[in-house]
Structure 1
Amino acid sequence: MNAIKTLKLTGGALIVVASINAWSQTSESAATPGQSGATSSSPAPSKSSVRKANRALSKKVLLALTKGGVDTSGINAIAKGGAVTLAGHVSNPADIDKAGSIAKGVAGVTSLKNALTISEGGQ
């Protein structure tokens, strides 16, 4: 009986120690060996500003597609750091290539993956 209590206490202590160590870590990346620990002149953008820029680029691409005559009701534009993925469906097969060429021409798009498909009419 005492051995079980001792094992429970030891296990509980290990869990507490592990959780304290995990909690004390920061989300900042450690300095690489080439860095001296001094801050660089241009700080990394915050996560919220990156998300905001990605959303703005997605909206800009969808707006350009709409202005170009492509029906965007079934299209999602997913942006991540300048890389844009067009996903969804279009009713006209010619719109797949048209959407790709329009999206490539949008300022801020560095690469494009066109994953559009043709939607089947009917149901």
Structure 2
Amino acid sequence: MVQSIFEEMGGRYERQGEYILPCLTIPPEKEQSIDLFGRRHLDYLREYRKITYTNLLTSGRLNAYLADIDRQAQEHFERLIEGMKQAQGITECLKEENALEWTGRTNNIRACAREIVGKEIIFA
């Protein structure tokens, strides 16, 4: 009996009632931690890039892809924060003199950096 391409690649079929269906499984994937940016990108893929999400999921590369996006976004986020702090002159001296102002300005910088990372990496 001639084998199909699926069978030649190591696949097998299973009988369910009158039908013979291929036994499809998702390849095992190394589990990597995904934080805020990776989860936001995952939500974006599920909602707006369904084909990309499905392709990554079925190929077994979704977790590695999201971990890479998360790492890139976190590094970019930290670089932006440091650059903005230097540009605005926010130092430890300001933190000692006026902690409330330092907190407000730092929170503003973090919000701006989060927005920039979202536009450049997460939702691109």
What is the TM-score normalised by the length of structure 2? 0.31
Give the helix-richer structure, 1 or 2.
Answer: 2
**Over alpha carbons, which structure has the higher Rg?**
1
What is the TM-score normalised by the length of structure 1? 0.31
Bigger relative contact order (CA 8 A; separation at least 6): 2
Give the strand-richer structure, 1 or 2.
Answer: 1
